[in-house]
Structures are given as C-alpha cells and as structure tokens.
C-alpha cells in the first residue's frame, strides 16, 4: 500500500483565505476534474513535520490545533565579518569532508554562530461559537549568522520560521536578545534572511558571536558524518549526530532537492545548521518525516544549491513595517495559484489577477487581468497571503518592482518586471 503523508506547515497557524481590495473575487481558472483532494488535505498515519516550535495562550473557549515552530543552529569559522563595500558576502569553503568529526569541538566552535528566533504573530482561531477571533502566538526557531554589512548582522533561517511575524526577536549565545527585521524571503526555497542592527548589539555580545562558514554540499557523500545543532523543542541549543543518508531527495512541499539525514531534526530545529566533520554548514535544517514505524527522517536544504539566493536576500533592502493606515496597495483582486493548480494548468505559482482596479497603480503600470504576480522587489510570492505580507513594508506613493508573468500567443508564460506606484486603499 502506498504511503500517504499528513503534511504540517506553518500555514496551519495562519489565515489561509485569499485577500482582495474589496468586492467579490473572480475565481480564476476553472479547475479540471479528476485530480481528487489536494495532497495537503490527506489525513494519514505519517507526518511531515517542519522543525519549528510554537506556543500561545488561548482562552478555554477557543478550539485550536497545536503549532510547531523552529530554531536554528549554525556552523562556523571564526570569521567576524564578510563585506565588500556595502554588499554582504558569504564565507565559504570548497573543502570536502569525509573524515570523522570531533563532535565536541565542532559543536563548541559552531555554537557562537547559532541564534534562536522568536516570532510573535497574530492569528485567527476558531472560538466555541464557530466564529473567529485574533490571538497572539509565539513561535521559536533557529538561525545561522552568515554575514555582516556596515550596519547589520545578517542571519539566515527558514521562511516558515519568520512568516506572518508582527515582531521578531533574536537571542544570541550569551542569552542577549535583540529585535530583528526581515531582509528578504523566498517561500519556494523556504529561506529568509533577517537583520539585526549592529547599534543594538552589545560589544560583549559581538565578542562572543561568529560568522558561519558554508561548506560545499555538492562534495558531500552518502555516509558522511553530520552534526545538527538547533533549539530542539524550544529548550535551547542541542546537538545531534548522524550521517548523510541520501542526496537529491524531493518532497511535494519543497521546490528543489534536499539532503536526507538520520540526525534528529526535532521541532524547533528549523533554520538550524547541518554541519560536516569540518564544522562547515552544508545544510539548513527544515523538516522531517515521522511515523509509528519510522524513527524519523530528517531533511536539510543543501547550501550550495541556495548560496546565490542567500547572498541576494542578504543584500535586499531591510523591511520595516509601516502603519496600516499608510500602507500602499497595488490595485488588483487576486486568486492563489497553488503548486497543484500550476501543474494542472501549466502556469506559474503566484497571484492570478482576477480584476484590475480602475485608476489604480496596477492599471497604470500595464498589469492586466489574467497576469500572474510572482514577486515583489525580488521576493517571491506564492499567493495573496505572501503578497499582502510583503506590501506591509511599503507606503502609499512608493514605487515598487512587481514581477508578473503573462501568457503569450503560443501559450507560454513570459516574465517581466514592471514598476508600480502604490496607491491608498481608498483609491
């Protein structure tokens, strides 16, 4: 009998309804029949668990599901900063590692590069009477210090660790905590970079932390020893060991290839580091599959596959939320194009433009009904939730680069960037 999986993601903690600028939404392309229920809705005996841990105080009248959120760990060398002019760069190594690790030394050297990340968010939950109400929720994840520019310390983590945050707090090895801002995110690769202002970090803390060195995951071989460090279950940094069980694994929930390991990747480890015997980061811990008959199969994002993306995210403009009354709007109504829909209709994932508001920024920029919005200012968006989340960083009147894909006469989608001047919600 074919295994079926129950997938758990941070979306379970978020409001998944589509948002619009008002009025009824066009439902977008009509779905073909015969595909059955979405794989995300299957309820079975096997679970895919993202390595994050969350907790929230709920009233007794609320009916809510448990939440898992993450923590990270990192590998490192003693490099303190890697900058060129104002551009941040990664510290990398091309060495291969197939020897036996001194786990104690690797862990000791890696700990200064690891941080815990606390995500405070507001979520809608169902109450006893069948309605919904907003509740504050706290989630814990991990991060890896990967660089520094003239004014910020830069930390890579999973996108689902920071998704939907109202505030983010980073805690360093000396237990000092500082608020952080999102630098850039990519939901397809489940990656994010957050920035901590150097002006807010004490000198004593700066002397205790370090920048991680990224190894070459392409040179990793099946059977190589690996070490995972992260904030397992939110209890603080912990170390587990194992081997690389397989390479180039695929999961329905991830756009790319993954490293598989038998090192324990527990809830709270999201964004943490998978290290080789040299103490270099070869993977960013993300998820595991657990069943009644399987001890647990862990997965990590290979760093060599995403190093260019991480560098890109590190050099994006830091995002600071603006007051809701000042936020800008594109001027469209949209419908999510999920990965299932994208495969079914041979179109990109993103936001299907079901209506363009007359006189709005989108219309003036030439965005038309039927286009698919796939990004904003270099950040990938996979639906209305992601688009709305990005727009909270921009004021009305600001010009932003919107990535759209439109269908050509031969049926293929062509990508282009357009500059949109954001309008006010009432416009």
From the first residue on, what is the mean pLDDT of each consecutive set of 10 residues in the chain (427 residues)?
36 34 40 38 45 49 28 36 57 61 91 93 71 77 95 96 90 95 90 96 97 95 94 82 93 85 86 95 84 78 95 92 91 93 92 95 96 92 90 94 94 94 82
Q: How far is CA 260 from the centre of its chain?
A: 19
Residues 379 and 309 placed together within one structural domain of the fold: no
Look up tokens 């950040």; give the residue. Answer: 379
B/e letters for 369-389, b = 16+ CB within 10 Å, e = fewer, are eebbbbbbbbbbbbbbbbbbb
pLDDT of residue 247: 95
End-of-domain residue from the set 295, 320, 345: 320
Structure token pair of residue 96? 């291969």
- As a whole number of angstroms, the distance between CA 402 and CA 422 comes to 11
- Kindly state whether residue 21 falls inside one of the protein's structural domains: no
Q: How far is CA 230 from the centre of its chain?
A: 16
From the list 300, 290, 278, the residue with the least C-alpha distance to 73 is 300
Examine the residue annotation and report whether 33 is marked as an active-site residue of this protein.
no
End-of-domain residue from the set 285, 300, 320: 320
Reduced DSSP (H G I as helix, E B as strand, rest coil) percent helix, strand, coil of the chain, to 5: 15, 40, 45
CATH label of the domain that carries residue 361: 2.30.42.10
Q: CA 297, 71, 318 angle in degrees (round to 5)?
A: 125
Cβ–Cβ under 8 Å, residues 83 and 149: yes
Look up tokens 């237990």; give the residue. Answer: 175
Examine the residue annotation and report whether 150 is marked as an active-site residue of this protein.
no
End-of-domain residue from the set 301, 320, 339: 320
pLDDT of residue 233: 76
* H or E segment to which residue 311 belongs: helix 303-314
Residues 337 and 287 placed together within one structural domain of the fold: no
Residues 278 and 360 placed together within one structural domain of the fold: no
- As a whole number of angstroms, the distance between CA 101 and CA 224 comes to 10
Residues 215 and 288 placed together within one structural domain of the fold: yes
Residues 312 and 188 placed together within one structural domain of the fold: yes
Residues in the chain: 427
Residues 268 and 358 placed together within one structural domain of the fold: no
- Catalytic: which of 270, 286, 341, 354? 270
From the list 349, 395, 424, the residue with the least C-alpha distance to 22 is 424
Residues 274 and 293 placed together within one structural domain of the fold: yes
pLDDT of residue 359: 93
- Kindly state whether residue 32 falls inside one of the protein's structural domains: no
- As a whole number of angstroms, the distance between CA 150 and CA 148 comes to 7
- Catalytic: which of 93, 139, 187, 190? 190
Residues 80 and 198 placed together within one structural domain of the fold: yes
Residues 90 and 222 placed together within one structural domain of the fold: yes
**136 phi and psi, to 5 degrees?**
-80, 140
Task: Note down the domain range covering 340.
Answer: 324-421
Burial (CB count <10 Å: 0-12, 13-18, 19+), residue 281: buried
- Catalytic: which of 97, 121, 137, 160? 160
Structure token pair of residue 199? 């002006």
Cβ–Cβ under 8 Å, residues 112 and 208: yes
- Kindly state whether residue 33 falls inside one of the protein's structural domains: no
Examine the residue annotation and report whether 203 is marked as an active-site residue of this protein.
no
CATH label of the domain that carries residue 192: 2.40.10.120
Residues 387 and 289 placed together within one structural domain of the fold: no
Residues 357 and 261 placed together within one structural domain of the fold: no
For 252-270, give the DSSP string.
TT-SS-EEEE-S---TT-T
Cα R_g (the chain), whole angstroms: 21
Q: List the beta bridge partners of residue 196.
A: 153
- Kindly state whether residue 427 falls inside one of the protein's structural domains: no
* H or E segment to which residue 391 belongs: helix 384-391
Residues 57 and 123 placed together within one structural domain of the fold: yes
Name the domain count of the chain: 2
pTM for this one?
Answer: 0.70
Cβ–Cβ under 8 Å, residues 75 and 210: no
pLDDT of residue 94: 60
């Amino acid at each position: 009998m074919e295994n079926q999986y129950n997938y758990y993601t941070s979306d379970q903690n978020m409001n998944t309804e589509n948002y619009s600028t008002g009025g009824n939404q066009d439902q977008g392309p009509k779905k073909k029949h015969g595909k059955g229920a979405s794989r995300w809705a299957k309820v079975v005996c096997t679970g895919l668990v993202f390595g994050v841990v969350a907790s929230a105080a709920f009233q007794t009248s609320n009916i809510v599901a448990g939440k898992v959120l993450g923590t990270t760990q990192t590998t490192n060398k003693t490099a303190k900063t890697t900058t060129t002019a104002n551009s941040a760069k990664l510290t990398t190594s091309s060495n291969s590692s197939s020897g036996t690790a001194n786990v104690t030394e690797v862990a000791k050297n890696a700990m200064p590069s690891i941080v815990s990340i606390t995500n405070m968010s507001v979520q809608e939950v169902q109450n006893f009477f069948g309605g919904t109400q907003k509740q504050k929720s706290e989630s814990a994840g991990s991060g890896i210090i990967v660089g520094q520019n003239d004014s910020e310390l830069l930390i890579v983590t999973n996108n689902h660790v920071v998704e939907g945050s109202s505030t983010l707090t980073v805690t360093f090895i000396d237990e000092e905590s500082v608020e952080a801002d999102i630098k850039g995110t990519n939901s397809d690769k489940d990656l994010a970079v957050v920035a901590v202002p150097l002006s807010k970090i004490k000198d004593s803390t700066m002397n205790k932390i370090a920048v991680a060195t990224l190894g070459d995951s392409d040179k990793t071989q099946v059977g190589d020893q690996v070490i995972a460090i992260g904030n397992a279950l939110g209890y603080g940094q912990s170390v587990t060991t194992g081997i690389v069980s397989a390479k180039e694994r695929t999961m329905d929930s991830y756009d790319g290839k993954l490293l598989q390991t038998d090192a324990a990747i527990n809830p709270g480890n999201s964004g943490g580091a998978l290290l080789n015997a040299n103490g270099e980061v070869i993977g960013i811990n993300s998820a595991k599959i657990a069943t009644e008959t399987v001890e647990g199969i862990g997965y990590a994002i290979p760093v060599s596959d995403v190093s260019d993306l991480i560098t890109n995210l590190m050099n994006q403009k830091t995002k600071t939320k603006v007051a809701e009354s000042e936020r800008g709007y594109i001027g469209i109504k949209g419908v999510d194009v999920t990965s299932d829909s994208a495969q079914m209709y041979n179109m990109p994932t993103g936001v299907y433009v079901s209506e363009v508001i007359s006189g709005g920024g989108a219309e003036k920029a030439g965005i038309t009904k039927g286009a698919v919005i796939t990004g904003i200012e270099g950040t990938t968006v996979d639906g209305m939730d992601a688009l709305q989340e990005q727009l909270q960083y921009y004021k009305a009147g600001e010009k932003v680069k919107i990535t759209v894909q439109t269908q050509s006469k031969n049926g293929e989608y062509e990508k282009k960037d357009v500059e949109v001047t954001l309008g006010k919600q009432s416009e």
